[in-house]
Amino acid sequence: MIQIQSAKLVEGTDYDSWVQVFESQEAIKMRADAGLKILAYGWNAEKERVFTVAEMDDPQTVQKMMQTPEAAAIMAKAGTDKSSMEMIPLPNGKPGI
């Protein structure tokens, strides 16, 4: 399944700092272990949100991973405002051509 995800960053966090944590080996491994592949990500200044487009094998596995203390620590370190997170599933979505 393909999913679009977005979140605001906590005050005092910039996009470059978020990217450093998002691209860290720890974060990459955690996503890979949950079957989550990032297809694209970026910052929208107008909406003041980071966006990711992800492909996942099993949304339930990803949901469980997102609730772990390890994931919470990575999101906090990245400056992700968990309360602002939005997920838009695209059940019939396909990776780019």
Residue-wise pLDDT for 62-81, tens only, equals: 999 999 999 999 999 999 99
- Residue 97 in any domain: the answer is no
- Residue 95 in any domain: the answer is no
Question: Identity (one letter) of the amino acid at 78?
Answer: A
Residue-wise pLDDT for 10-54, tens only, equals: 999 999 999 999 999 999 999 999 999 999 999 999 999 999 999
The length of the chain in residues reads 97
3-state secondary structure of 95: coil
* Residue 97: per-residue pLDDT: 63
The CATH number that applies at residue 45 is 3.30.70.100
pTM score? 0.89
- Residue 29 in any domain: the answer is yes
pLDDT at 94 over 90: no
The answer to which of 2-6, 37-41, 90-94 has the lowest mean pLDDT is: 90-94
5 HSE (CA, 13 A, CB side): 23
- Residue 96 in any domain: the answer is no
User: Can you name the residues that pair with 51 across neighbouring β-strands?
Assistant: 6, 42
- Residue 94 in any domain: the answer is no
Taking CA 40 as the corner, what is the angle to CA 16 and CA 86, rounded to the nearest 5 degrees? 80
Continuous H helices in 9-93: 15-22, 25-33, 59-66, 69-78
Q: Range of 39's domain?
A: 2-89
More confident residue, 96 or 28: 28
Q: How many domains is the chain partitioned into structurally?
A: 1
